[in-house]
Amino acid sequence: MEQPMKLSVRFNEALGYAAALHADQVRKGSGTPYVAHLLAVASLTLEHGGDEDQAIAALLHDAVEDQGGLERLNVIRDKYGEAVAIIVEGCTDAVSVPKPPWRERKERYIEHLADVEPRVRLVSLCDKLHNARSILTDYHSIGEEIWSRFRGGRQGSLWYYRALLETFARYPEHDALKNEFRRCVEALEALANSGDEAPSA
């Protein structure tokens, strides 16, 4: 029987660090404390075979993009090691302020997924799956209004999630996660299409 993995004090410290970094952030439109997303991504990462470094990186996957750029990445490297820093950097689509244009960033991120290790793709996939789940849940509450939360709008967001789905599908790992991600993306597309077909009032 495989030995269960035990998380160390490093994970506990990283959780507190991530919560402090993102203390003033909320999820787009919902007002949910941002740490809820970080916890969900870490949970998915652990549930699908991730180790402690990957779980810590999941907690910190948005820290560079949202909380300090390359300077923050260097702090993460010093605090948690190179393995965590590599994953966090691999999950980051921008380090500069202001960020590059939205479509350019997303195209680069999709291309970049081909060059990262499976360890990085696991955390990235968990992040994108939780985002897609959240969008789908909120769509059922507010409908097409959901797209106003996102810089890419309706068409850009649907393009991005479809492109991510097709990119992750090229790799052999994490079938269960990819299948759930596919269901979420296809459900979003179906809802958006049904909105297109609805008769005007």
Inside any domain, residue 4? no
Per-residue pLDDT, averaged over 106-135, amounts to 96
CATH number, domain with residue 63: 1.10.3210.10
Give the active site residue among 51, 66, 138, 173: 66
Q: Comparing 184 with 1, which gets the higher pLDDT? A: 184
Asked whether residue 58 carries a pLDDT value surpassing 90, the answer given is: yes
pLDDT attached to residue 193: 87
Inside any domain, residue 1? no
The interaxial angle of helices 118-142 and 153-168, nearest 10 deg, is: 140
Confidence band for 144, pLDDT divided at 50, 70 and 90: very high
Give the active site residue among 52, 53, 62, 65: 65
| Model confidence pLDDT, tens digit, residues 27-43 | 887 789 999 999 999 99
| Model confidence pLDDT, tens digit, residues 167-178 | 999 999 999 999
Inside any domain, residue 55? yes
Residue 65: active-site member = yes
**Total count of domains within the chain:** 1
Give the amino acid at 165. L
